[in-house]
Each structure stands twice: as structure tokens, then as C-alpha cells.
């Protein structure tokens, strides 16, 4: 009997996939496998009995992947399982940035006791006027599971798209969309786009990549969306750009202390993959991958070993 430890709440839809050869345990000292979402495992003492770890999500910077690889313990993630949930929130963020919806909603709440609110609203709404995304250009940095869905959905809404991904062949980019302008130069994205969204992992080459130099190349009043990792954006540079009006809005899913001090932001509390569907999909993939590995040795979606 294989023992599985859950460090976070894991969807019961996923856990129900465990066969009779597996059972849940709360004792890490007897666990063969660990299922995790956001729990910090970097300083955790992981005993030798643990044979595999699966992250029910795409990111895995909360897991000591290199140290586990040295021990021969594979770490799996669930790429694409939550892509649609994140894509929908990106579209939501873009629409919220185009129209001052939050301001309008707050005005209604503030004036809820006004018996003539319907009439008053006709005058007040001018303060919350915005623009439309139809015909605007969206730049997508990173054309993986999420990025490609964003491209297709944005085009379906009537937007033009510019895509950048240094790891993607031109033929694969064309398969995403024949209408997307695929470029090998990030400067093309910065110079042409009214909206820019980033979908790349946080690693040495990408941390802080949206710095003062990058922002300086962007169109005036560009809206920048970050639903990947907070560390991709240089906080000091973004703070200055928002204060100066260079960037019209910064829409992010990461409520850091620095972000909460910035002007002209729309900030979500890491809601990208927080849908029932995403959590179910991630759990199903993670559970199936650990079962496959423990029974056959096959490593699906392994991020730390070849």
C-alpha cells in the first residue's frame, strides 16, 4: 500500500482518482508521495521514505527541486491544467483596466442611499468613462499553455496580437494563430502594444526583466498585466512609471507590499488558478502522475530530472 501526504487542501475530485493501492496519510515519516500546492517545502526536512512529489499547479519555486534531484526524487507539476482559469482572469483584468469598473461600482455603493441615484448616475458616470479593447493591440510574452489561450481569446474579441517566445519555433507560433505577429525581438512587443501580458516562469534570466529600460520602450499609456510571478517586474521601475503616467495601469495577481504602494493598479490576491475547475484539473493530473510513477517508474511532467 502506497501512502500519500497532502500538504495543502487537494481537490477531492483529484484524490478520488487514487486506486485501492493508495491511501492518504498525515504522517510524513510513512509517506511515499507528497501532494502540494503552495506550502513552503524549501526548508522542510523531507525524509528518505518520500519517493515523489507532485505540485498541483504550474509553478514549483516552493519546492527544493535541485536537492531532491540529487536524491533521485522526481518533482512533477501540472502544466496547462489551470491555464483556462488564468486566461479568463487576464481577460477580466484587461477589461477592468480599459473601463473604470471598480470606480463605478464603488460610486454606486457610496451613493446607495440616494433615492435619485438613477438620475444622479447619468451625471456621475462621466468620471468613469473608459475605452474599448476592440482594435487594440495585445502583446503576449510567453506563448505556453496560458499565453496561447490568451492570444486566441483576445483575437476572438477583436484585438490584434503580437507574440514573443524565444523557445518557440515559428511553425509552432503559426499554429497558435495565423493572425498573430510573431517576433523574435521584445522591442517589437514594447513598441507596438496597447496592452502587454507576461506568461513566463521566474528564473535567473527572467527575474526583473520588466525593468526601467523595458518600460521605457513601451507605448505611452500602456497597460501591463502580470499573472505569472511578481519577481518578473522591477517594483521600483514600475512604481516610477505609474507615477509618471508612462504606464496607465498595472494589473497584477500579486499583492506584495511594494505593489500596494503603487498608483493606478488593479491588484488581485493570487486568484489566477483559484477556480474549482482549475483545482480539480491540477489535482487529477498530479494524482495520476504520482500513481504512474510509483507503479511504473514513468516520470510525466517531471521538472527536475531528465
Determine the pLDDT at residue 306. Answer: 87
Per-10-residue mean pLDDT of the chain, 306 residues long, equals: 97 98 98 96 97 94 96 97 97 98 97 98 96 98 97 98 97 97 98 98 94 98 97 98 98 98 97 95 98 98 95
Determine the pLDDT at residue 31. Answer: 98
Determine the pLDDT at residue 166. Answer: 96
Determine the pLDDT at residue 59. Answer: 85
Q: What does residue 36 show for φ and ψ, rounded to 5 degrees?
A: -145, 150
Q: State how far the Cα of 130 lies from the Cα of 24, in Å rounded to an integer.
A: 51
Determine the pLDDT at residue 199. Answer: 97
User: Between helices 101-110 and 83-98, what is the axis angle to 10°?
Assistant: 70
Per-residue cell: 201: 516562469
Nearest of 273, 292, 279 to residue 13 by alpha carbon: 279
Q: State how far the Cα of 261 lies from the Cα of 257, in Å rounded to an integer.
A: 7
The residues facing 266 across adjacent strands are 251
Q: Do 232 and 209 contact (CB within 8 A), yes or no? A: yes
Provide the whole-model pTM: 0.89
Q: What does residue 212 show for φ and ψ, rounded to 5 degrees?
A: -60, -40
Max CA distance (Å), the chain: 70
Amino acid at each position: 500500500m502506497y501512502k500519500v501526504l497532502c500538504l495543502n487542501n487537494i481537490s477531492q475530485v483529484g484524490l478520488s482518482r487514487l486506486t485501492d493501492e493508495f491511501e492518504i496519510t498525515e504522517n510524513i515519516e510513512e509517506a511515499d508521495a507528497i501532494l502540494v500546492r503552495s506550502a513552503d517545502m524549501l526548508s522542510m526536512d523531507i525524509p528518505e521514505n518520500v519517493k515523489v512529489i507532485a505540485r498541483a499547479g504550474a509553478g514549483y519555486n516552493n519546492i527544493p527541486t535541485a536537492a531532491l534531484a540529487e536524491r533521485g526524487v522526481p518533482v512533477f507539476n501540472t502544466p496547462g491544467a489551470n491555464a483556462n482559469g488564468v486566461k479568463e482572469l487576464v481577460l477580466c483584468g484587461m477589461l477592468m483596466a480599459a473601463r473604470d469598473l471598480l470606480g463605478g461600482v464603488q460610486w454606486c455603493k457610496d451613493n446607495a442611499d440616494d433615492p435619485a441615484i438613477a438620475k444622479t448616475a447619468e451625471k456621475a458616470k462621466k468620471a468613469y468613462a473608459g475605452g474599448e479593447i476592440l482594435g487594440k493591440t495585445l502583446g503576449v510574452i510567453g506563448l505556453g499553455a496560458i499565453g496561447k489561450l490568451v492570444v486566441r481569446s483576445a483575437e476572438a474579441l477583436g484585438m490584434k496580437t503580437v507574440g514573443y517566445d524565444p523557445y518557440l519555433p515559428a511553425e509552432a507560433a503559426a499554429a497558435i494563430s495565423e493572425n498573430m505577429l510573431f517576433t523574435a525581438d521584445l522591442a517589437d512587443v514594447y513598441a507596438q502594444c496597447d496592452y502587454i501580458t507576461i506568461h513566463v516562469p521566474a528564473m535567473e534570466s527572467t527575474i526583473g526583466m520588466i525593468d526601467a529600460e523595458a518600460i521605457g520602450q513601451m507605448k505611452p499609456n500602456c497597460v501591463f498585466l502580470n499573472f505569472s510571478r511578481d519577481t518578473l517586474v522591477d517594483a521600483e521601475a514600475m512604481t516610477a512609471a505609474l507615477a509618471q503616467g508612462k504606464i496607465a495601469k498595472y494589473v497584477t495577481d500579486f499583492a506584495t507590499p511594494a505593489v500596494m504602494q503603487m498608483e493606478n493598479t488593479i491588484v488581485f490576491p493570487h486568484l489566477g488558478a483559484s477556480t474549482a475547475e482549475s483545482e480539480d484539473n491540477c489535482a487529477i493530473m498530479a494524482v495520476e502522475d504520482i500513481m504512474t510513477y510509483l507503479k511504473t517508474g514513468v516520470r510525466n511532467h517531471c521538472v527536475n530530472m531528465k
